[in-house]
Structure 1
């Protein structure tokens, strides 16, 4: 057995080793040769990998939906969508091809331990959803109080996976780590934002609110917004989600997501400052016109 290779090992032993690998390593191994391609392509292997990465996939409907497609699901979700959403996507063009339903698989962790794991099913075909601001709320109230305690917002990680059950496509709609942590100036809640910037005009992400005293998750929701600061409508948000699902993927650094968000927020702040400056100029012009009119009327009255 001096010349024995890894291929001479018993298939059960190799299968046990493969279960210790992460997704990218497993996918790379499947390219080695025909035997490894067969072993690394076992559906149960990818199902277990998906369930360990995203516990919310244990929901009965998702188990049925992804019964034979866990590998393609992993490929869709593991990497971030390429940030090339066109401006036309933010305008909600092509309404007939928008998802009529979305399933959200939400997994919030603190230092690797699961804080919240739940599934949200959303009917997106109604006129109310299309016209209202794009927002999907996760019902944290139905979770046990002990499950939602957190300690350090900066050490939270979130995966909010949006699934189109009819086209069987999915996309990770948030950054893995927070792009910003702030405190609400009225309620004192900690506001933790996870976001992806898609193109130059749109951003989509989740907001997690944590109670000041309880240190428990009070609220978590997914929303989409434009660079000018306004929330996108349901129609526009669905167009962005569809574009992200159909676009490419890349395995990016989480610091890149934070950098892109800071640049996006900076552009938004600059636009607000420009708009405020324009308003001040308009106010000054109106005041000048009013003062000139008053002086003119006063002069006429004195001349008489």
Structure 2
């Protein structure tokens, strides 16, 4: 009978699962480069060795570039500001301090089923009287631009609604003077509707800005492929009036300076906030119509009384 041979006991470093058993080059080159941003940030808290390895700027540069193709470089702080969720309860304020930057940079990336569709960087000046007094709106595409895609144009309303889960949008707003950034978008769409007149598909994304909406308009023909014809950001108040640039700068300053939260559940919370906002707008509009209706009725009654009084006065005279 062959005698059994016992295997040597494993080293204590392997038994305890110590990272010291893994060479730092293997960790840095073959393991850490495969992690996404949140996982890499969590790994930095495990040990001093991982904290040192994850501080390499090249790791965060690659993550920023893969997450937002519109940026070819991006420091660790940029990822932290843009990936986490600023305070969602940003509203207008009477404080007149506003964003110090003379321009804002919008880095926009659109995906469909995790496949890259479109990317562009746009600069917006913030010092002119035109910007301060005009309704705030940032257009990523020029009116005559059109971005072709390989996405089939939806033939039915059911197919149209499916786009709500398929599209993802990132809108990173950058303050180049203050070296600050934040992501305005809810990532996932909050509604998809077909325009009643043109028939184009309007994909709406919520924003952390109160009343803010990011609208992606896509055209196309049945049996063909979609094309992106418009990507814009605009902000409205509860009465549906567009806020001007001066008001927006105040709101943006609070967003840049606000505390950052966890990105988890951002899509669900964003859609819920959007639906709550639209419901409040609907209720406000109904109350306004009822109030105007009562006022109109009062004017009619007063007119009838005055007309009757004048008629009686003329008759008896």
Say yes or no: TM over 0.5: yes
C-alpha distance 197-299 of structure 1, shift in aligned 2 (>3 A) = farther
Q: Secondary structure in 1 aligned to 2:236? A: strand
**Deviations 1:215-243 (CA, angstroms, capped at 9, x unpaired):** 21110011122222211101111221221
Q: Secondary structure in 2 aligned to 1:125? A: coil
Partner of 1:133: 135
Equivalent-residue separation in structure 2 for 1:234 and 1:120 (angstroms): 16
Cα shift at 1:303: 1.3
Q: Secondary structure in 2 aligned to 1:262? A: helix
Partner of 2:157: none
- Residue correspondence of structure 1 range 90-109 to structure 2 within 5 A: 93-95=96-98, 97-109=99-111
Cα shift at 1:23: 1.1
**Deviations 1:171-217 (CA, angstroms, capped at 9, x unpaired):** 1011100111112111111111111244xxx2323110111525211
Partner of 2:188: 177
Cα shift at 1:8: 2.3
Cα shift at 1:150: 6.1
When structure 1 is superposed on structure 2, of 27-36 and 257-266 the one drifting more is 27-36
C-alpha distance 302-146 of structure 1, shift in aligned 2 (>3 A) = closer
Partner of 2:239: 228
Q: Does residue 303 of structure 2 align to residue 290 of structure 1?
A: yes
TM-score (norm 1): 0.89
Number of equivalences: 289
Instruction: Check whether the contact 2:106–2:123 (CA below 8 A) recurs between aligned residues.
Output: yes
Partner of 1:73: 78
**Deviations 1:106-141 (CA, angstroms, capped at 9, x unpaired):** 000111111111100111111111111111110267
Unaligned 5+ segments in structure 1 are none
Partner of 1:3: 12
273, 282, 299: which one pairs with 1:269?
Answer: 282
Partner of 2:230: 219
Unaligned 5+ segments in structure 2 are 1-9, 154-159
Instruction: Check whether the contact 2:70–2:107 (CA below 8 A) recurs between aligned residues.
Output: yes
Determine which structure has more spread, i.e. the larger CA radius of gyration.
2
Q: Does residue 49 of structure 2 align to residue 35 of structure 1?
A: yes
Equivalent-residue separation in structure 1 for 2:278 and 2:250 (angstroms): 21
Q: Secondary structure in 1 aligned to 2:215? A: strand
Q: Secondary structure in 2 aligned to 1:99? A: coil
Cα shift at 1:148: 7.4
Partner of 2:119: 117
Equivalent-residue separation in structure 1 for 2:96 and 2:112 (angstroms): 38
Q: Does residue 66 of structure 2 align to residue 49 of structure 1?
A: no
Partner of 1:167: 178
Aligned-pair Cα RMSD in Å = 2.0
Equivalent-residue separation in structure 2 for 1:256 and 1:56 (angstroms): 26
Cα shift at 1:267: 0.4
Equivalent-residue separation in structure 1 for 2:145 and 2:300 (angstroms): 57
Equivalent-residue separation in structure 2 for 1:109 and 1:115 (angstroms): 5
Cα shift at 1:99: 2.8
C-alpha distance 140-106 of structure 1, shift in aligned 2 (>3 A) = farther
Instruction: Check whether the contact 1:99–1:238 (CA below 8 A) recurs between aligned residues.
Output: no
Instruction: Check whether the contact 1:135–1:224 (CA below 8 A) recurs between aligned residues.
Output: yes
Q: Secondary structure in 2 aligned to 1:75? A: helix
More helix by proportion, 1 or 2?
Answer: 1
Cα shift at 1:278: 1.0
C-alpha distance 110-129 of structure 1, shift in aligned 2 (>3 A) = same
Instruction: Check whether the contact 1:197–1:204 (CA below 8 A) recurs between aligned residues.
Output: yes
Cα shift at 1:287: 0.6
Equivalent-residue separation in structure 1 for 2:243 and 2:268 (angstroms): 25
Instruction: Check whether the contact 2:61–2:76 (CA below 8 A) recurs between aligned residues.
Output: yes
